[in-house]
Amino acid sequence: MAKLSSNMEDYLEAIMVAENKDGSARVTDVRDLLGVKTPSVTGALRVLAEKGYLKHEPYRGVKLTAKGRRTAQDVKARHVILSSFLTDVLGVRAKTADIDACKMEHTVSRETLDKLHAFLQKQGKKK
């Protein structure tokens, strides 16, 4: 199975963030979160649906499948770990850390991420 592009991972993360109480997200909310045009969102949703990451019913919203939710949660966790490291350890401003973490979350290795996470856990115990 081919790895998703960083753009596709961003769509899954945005869908998870935009979900309402019934677990579905509106296309317009995803569009606004990512700052893209509606046709870009619908094209990405089509691709992600074909790959089994979500179900999209026009005019009814988008719902992540179990596979899509796992991927979105993984992307979000990578973002949180990287952002925490940048702000808490390096002292980067939150807004800058958020932007940088978004770029880094798609390329960082699992080994590096695990080491960062362990380091942050250890630092938290010292406080």
Give domain limits for the chain.
6-70, 74-126
Supply the CATH classification number for the domain 74-126. Answer: 1.10.60.10
* Percentage of the chain exceeding pLDDT 90: 80
Query: What's the whole-model pTM score?
Result: 0.85
Over residues 29-46, the pLDDT tens digits come to: 999 999 999 999 999 999
SS3 of the chain = CCCCCHHHHHHHHHHHHHCCCCCCECHHHHHHHHCCCHHHHHHHHHHHHHCCCEEEECCCEEEECHHHHHHHHHHHHHHHHHHHHHHHHCCCCHHHHHHHHHHHCCCCCHHHHHHHHHHHHHHHHHC
Q: The CATH number of 6-70 is which of 3.30.70.360, 3.10.450.50, 3.30.300.160, 1.10.10.10?
A: 1.10.10.10
Token duo for residue 48: 């992600």
